[in-house]
């Protein structure tokens, strides 16, 4: 089967089982789970990423979906019009809609352009950094249609370089291999400079985490920077300097970065150097828990401490262990905050909702012998829209406590 025929209508038909919740899908829920689709021989033999028309159990068309028989999310809704043709023009229209939203918010082309299902492109993440974009095709259909996707991206945005970052847990769940390559244009020479909140960040788009930079914390970085004006910040799990570089740009006197990755710390230092503030930073490489214990033993105190760890609860199965880890972070971080100072705690685990995360943080602070008031509850920036039907799209929580 050639790829051209693979995506040309008429599409095969797949059907919901009688127990599936058809009404939820009609109202905007974008996923069909394994067990909710009739898996006859023809459906089971569809190639991962194949396009199909979804019908309910009474054979009424519901829209065009992409099917992956190997995934727990067996089908993803692409378009609620059963007559839609999915190709470069269709992708371009979705991208143009996403671009219009970002251009209404930001003055410069540095943002998350596509936030997967919330922007109508299931499993697709695109971060834009000027004339370069990083695409994460985390669903089988996007991997199979990477050519039309990149072509539409260049046409709509005018970017001249596109990195395909085919790595991460989500691709494994789809049965996709890992691969990071240039999909368009020439390889960038070194890290890409990204301005945000008055700071300069350096993104390793070919070897860093995810797309090389995290835009989602932008409003929370800005709030933390206000708290740190004229003071000292400890940025734990700093990656390339998210909170700390924003704090320096906002007038912080000094920032200490802590991260397990030497490469990430080098990028954080590089950002400070690009801002002419290299003399106002220090870095500790190693396990964040060990580093916080060591700082406490040294009697170190900071005006603002921020902890932005990786997802400790990436799934429901990991929730209990993840909440214990968040509690431990809070317990070790709280003693490092001066009296009247601020503690910022973050979670990017969609399995841990705000109430559970907040309770874990409060327990940790209490176990450290401290008390605090919540002064800020933050979420991802507006370039990371939330699909109301899909809790997974609203994964980020950031709390600032005054201790």
Report, as residue numbers or ranges, the catalytic residues. 348
Distance CA 401, CA 403 (A): 6
Question: In Å, what is the CA distance from 343 to each residue of 31, 119, 312, 340, 357?
Answer: 37, 33, 19, 10, 14
Distance CA 277, CA 51 (A): 52
Question: In Å, what is the CA distance from 114 to each residue of 25, 91, 121, 215, 270?
Answer: 21, 11, 7, 12, 28
Q: CB within 8 A of 101, min separation 6: which ones?
A: 382, 383, 385
Distance CA 68, CA 51 (A): 9
Q: CB within 8 A of 86, min separation 6: which ones?
A: 7, 51, 64, 66, 78, 79, 145
- Give the distance from CA 392 to its chain's centroid: 11
85: left (phi over 0), alpha (psi -120 to 50) or beta: beta
Contact 304, 372 (CB under 8 A): no
- Closest of 54, 73, 42 to residue 171, by C-alpha: 73
- The CA-CA-CA angle for residues 209, 91, 99, to 5°, reads 65
- The CA-CA-CA angle for residues 103, 111, 330, to 5°, reads 135
Q: Which two tokens stand for residue 238?
A: 């700093």
Distance CA 232, CA 21 (A): 52
């Amino acid at each position: 089967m050639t790829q051209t025929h693979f995506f040309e209508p008429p599409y095969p038909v797949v059907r919901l089982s009688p127990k599936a919740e058809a009404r939820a899908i009609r109202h905007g829920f974008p996923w069909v789970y394994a067990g909710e689709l009739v898996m006859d021989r023809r459906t089971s033999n569809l190639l991962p990423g194949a396009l199909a028309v979804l019908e309910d159990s009474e054979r009424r068309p519901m829209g065009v979906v992409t099917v992956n028989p190997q995934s727990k999310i067996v089908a993803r809704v692409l378009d609620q019009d059963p007559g839609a043709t999915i190709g470069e023009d269709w992708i371009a229209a979705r991208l143009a809609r996403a671009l219009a939203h970002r251009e209404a918010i930001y003055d410069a082309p540095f943002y998350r352009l596509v936030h997967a299902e919330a922007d109508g492109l299931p499993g697709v993440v695109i971060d834009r950094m000027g004339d370069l974009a990083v695409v994460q095709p985390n669903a089988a259909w996007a991997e199979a249609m990477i050519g039309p996707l990149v072509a539409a991206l260049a046409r709509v945005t005018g970017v001249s370089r596109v990195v395909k970052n085919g790595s991460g847990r989500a691709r494994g769940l789809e049965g996709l291999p890992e691969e990071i390559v240039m999909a368009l244009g020439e390889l960038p020479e070194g890290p890409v400079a990204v301005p945000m909140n008055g700071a300069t960040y350096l993104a390793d788009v070919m070897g860093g985490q995810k797309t090389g930079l995290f835009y989602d914390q932008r409003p929370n970085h800005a709030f933390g920077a206000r708290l740190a004006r004229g003071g000292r910040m400890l940025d734990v799990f700093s990656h390339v300097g998210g909170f700390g570089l924003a704090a320096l740009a906002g007038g912080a006197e000094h920032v200490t970065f802590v991260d397990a990755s030497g490469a990430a710390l080098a990028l954080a230092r590089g950002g400070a150097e690009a801002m002419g503030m290299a003399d106002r930073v220090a870095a500790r490489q190693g396990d964040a828990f060990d580093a916080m214990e060591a700082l406490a033993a040294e009697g170190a105190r900071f005006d603002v401490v921020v902890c932005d760890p990786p997802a400790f609860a990436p799934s429901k199965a990991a929730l209990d262990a993840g909440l214990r880890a968040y509690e431990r972070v809070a317990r070790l971080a709280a003693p490092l905050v001066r009296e009247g100072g601020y503690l910022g705690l973050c979670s990017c685990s969609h399995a841990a909702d705000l109430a559970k995360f907040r309770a874990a943080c409060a327990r940790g602070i209490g176990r450290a012998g401290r008390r605090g008031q919540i002064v800020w509850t933050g979420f991802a920036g507006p370039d990371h829209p939330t699909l109301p039907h899909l809790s997974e799209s609203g994964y980020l929580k950031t709390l600032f406590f005054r201790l």
